[in-house]
Amino acid sequence: MKPTLEYSAYRYFTENKHFAWDFVDSFVAEILINEIVPDVLIEALTTDTQMPKKKTYDKKSRHWKSDNYRGSAGSHSVSLLDELIIEVLRDLSAHVLRRMVRDFVDDHLVRAALHDCIDEMLTSIIQTELSSMIDELNSETKHDRLLDSLIKSVIDKEMKDAVISVLTECDDQLSELHKNQITVTANKHVVDMFILEHLLDMIGTHEPLIFGKDTMQCLLDSIVLDVLLRDQGNIQQVQQNTFENYPAMLFHQNTVSKVALEVMLTELHMILTEDMEDICEYERDIEFG
C-alpha cells in the first residue's frame, strides 16, 4: 500500500521532534501575534479530549464487506482501507497536535506568571531600597549643608579677626617707627635749636658778635653761625618733609593735640580747683561771719 501525505507528515513529526517543537512554537506565536484563536486551541484549553474511539464493525458489515470484496474489484477495497487509515491518522494527529499546543500554552502561561511575579518582587524591592537611599542622601545633604554653613561662618570670623590683628600690628609698628624717627630727629637738633635761640637773643640785644673781637673769637663765632644756619636749614627741611608725609604729620598732630589738650585740661583743673576753694572759703566766711 502506498503511504499517503498525512501519514508521511505524521511519521516526519514523530521522528523529528525538534522540528515538531519549532513548528508548534512558530504556529502558537503566529496565533498570539495575529490574535487568532482557532477551535483547536479553544477545545484544548476548555475540554479534555480523549483518543478517538475505534470504529466497530459488526459481523453483518464484515460479512457484507467480505461479500462485497469478493464481488467487487480490488481497487475499491484498497480505496476504502486508505480512507479508514487516513481518518484514523487525522484523528490521531489532531489529538497529538492539540495536546502539544496545550502543553506549550501551559508552559508559556507558567513562564509569564513567573516573570510577572519576579518583576513585581524586584519592583517592590527596588522601590523600598530606592526610597531609603533617597532619604539617606537627603539627610547627608542636609548635614553637609549645615556643616558648610557653620564652617563658613567660623572661617569668615577667623579670617576677619586675623586680618584686623595683622593690620593693627602693622599700624602699631608703623606708628612706632614714625615716633622713633621723629624722636631721633628731635634729639639730634634740640641742642642746635637752643644755640640758635641763644644766637637770636644775642642779636636782639645788639651785643657785638664778630666786630670788636679778636680773630679767634670771630672765627669761632663764624663757625657756630655756619653750623646753626645749616642746622636751621636741615630743621626746616625736616619740618617740610614731616608736613608732606601724611602719616608723620598725622602722628605729629595727634601727639601735639594730646599734649596741648592735656596741658589745657591741667590748667583748667587747677583754675577750677582754685575757684572752688575760693567759693568754699567765701561760704565759710558768710556762714561764720
Residue 138 identity (one-letter amino acid): N
Q: How many Cβ atoms sit within 10 Å of the Cβ of residue 16?
A: 12
**Residue 51 clears pLDDT 60, i.e. is over it:** no
Is residue 209 one of the residues assigned to a domain?
A: no
Residue 266 identity (one-letter amino acid): T
H helix and E strand count, the chain? 7, 0
Is residue 177 one of the residues assigned to a domain?
A: no
Domain boundary pick from 79, 102, 137: 137
CB 41 within 8 Å of CB 29: no
Is residue 211 one of the residues assigned to a domain?
A: no
Is residue 60 one of the residues assigned to a domain?
A: yes
37-41, 126-130, 146-150, 151-155: least confident range: 37-41
pLDDT at 224: 78
Would you give the distance in Å from CA 183 to the centre of its chain?
Answer: 59
Is residue 147 one of the residues assigned to a domain?
A: no
Query: What is the dihedral sign for C-alpha 169, 170, 172, 173?
Result: positive
Is residue 210 one of the residues assigned to a domain?
A: no
CA distance 35 to 192: 125
CA R_g for the chain: 67
Is residue 83 one of the residues assigned to a domain?
A: yes
Domain boundary pick from 137, 171, 198: 137
Domain count, the chain: 2
Domain boundary pick from 120, 137, 154: 137
Span 66-109, pLDDT tens digits: 454 444 444 444 566 677 677 777 777 777 777 887 787 778 77
**Residue 197 clears pLDDT 80, i.e. is over it:** no
What's the domain range around 275?
252-289
CA distance to 32, 204, 222, per residue, from 199 (Å): 132, 9, 12
Q: How many CA atoms lie within 13 A of 153 on its CB side?
A: 5
